Amino acid sequence: MGLCLLVSAAAFAQQPRIAFIPKNLGNPFFDAVYKGIQEAAAELGYATVYIGPPAADPASQIPFIQQQVTQQVTAIIISANDANTVAPALRQAMQRGVIVIAVDADAAVDARQAYIQPVDFNTIGAEQVRLMAQLINYEGEIAILSATTTAPNQNFWIEGMRQELTKPEYSRMQLVRIAYGDDEPQKSYRETEALLAAYPNLRGIISPTTVGVAAAAQALETSGAADRVQLTGLGLPNQMRSYVKNGTVTAFQLWDPAEMGYAAVHLVDAIRKGFEPAPGKTYTAGKLGERTFLENNVVIAGPLTTFTAENIDNYDF
């Protein structure tokens, strides 16, 4: 197995160690999560390792989980490609005394101690539809460009979009297709091209994935379709800045991913010192302050932000 990793401290034996396993490497979103992990780890005295698969396949994270358990890692922070596929390996890790915290995309409830959710997922799908409706004046055909078919967060948000679209105010909007770019830039670009070709009257694309929305923006810019097709989704400000400034994209949304990593490390530290997560209980997540556990030990890291030409330069991630 060829491993790609970034280590923040050479002498693991002297420090407790936290491994971050993202869906895939080379994704700026997870790079931002890792920055938050590094910040909190520096505050609390942990070494960190950033390790994972090159592609977001359902089973691709399992060898990395197993490797870190063998190396006696203190904790694993993971964004699951598939909640159930990684569950057996994570349960084995917990049985070996490894603390397991899911971030961004949850694992099975019994395969982690807690889940750091970026925002209230119940609102994301609806907020994305509301933003798109404003951009196209509540009228026209729209499509969704998602990541993988099995990504739990993507599927939850898409269901939220479907439910929001049933409301009377969206009666003139029609969801014509859901496409999947597998969180790969080239495939997401091609899927966007295919949407433009298949639906000449398309008015908008919602892409709730940082890789997908950037690739779709590039496709709209290259094809010259941005004057007729509005694009929104969940994107990184640094990736989307040029598209916002040149008018390809009017508005998109996201949260600060570093906050998830930061909150997760503080939770690891609390658990290591004897804290037991449970619904209704709280813990202190460093500079983020108090965080409360919801049902199934879910913690919400922060709010959703809408980025436009007016505010995008206030953010750097």
Topology of domain 5-118+256-302, per CATH? Rossmann fold (3.40.50)
Strand order, beta sheet including 230-233: 173-180, 140-146, 202-207, 230-233
Same fold, 5-118+256-302 and 121-254: yes
Predicted local confidence at residue 28, as pLDDT: 85
Show pLDDT as tens, one digit a residue, over the chain (317 residues).
Answer: 444 455 444 444 578 999 999 999 998 889 989 999 999 999 999 999 999 999 999 999 999 999 999 999 999 999 999 999 999 999 999 999 999 999 999 999 999 999 999 888 789 999 999 999 999 999 999 999 999 999 988 999 999 999 999 999 999 999 999 999 999 999 999 999 999 999 999 999 999 999 999 999 999 999 999 999 999 999 999 999 999 999 999 999 998 889 999 999 999 999 999 999 999 999 999 999 999 999 999 999 987 889 999 999 988 78
Q: Interior CA angle at 68 toward 65 and 69, to 5°?
A: 85
The domain limits of the chain are: 5-118+256-302, 121-254
Topology of domain 121-254, per CATH? Rossmann fold (3.40.50)
Polymer length of the chain: 317
Distances (CA, A) of 163 to 137, 168, 175: 19, 11, 12
Provide the β-strand partners of residue 96. none
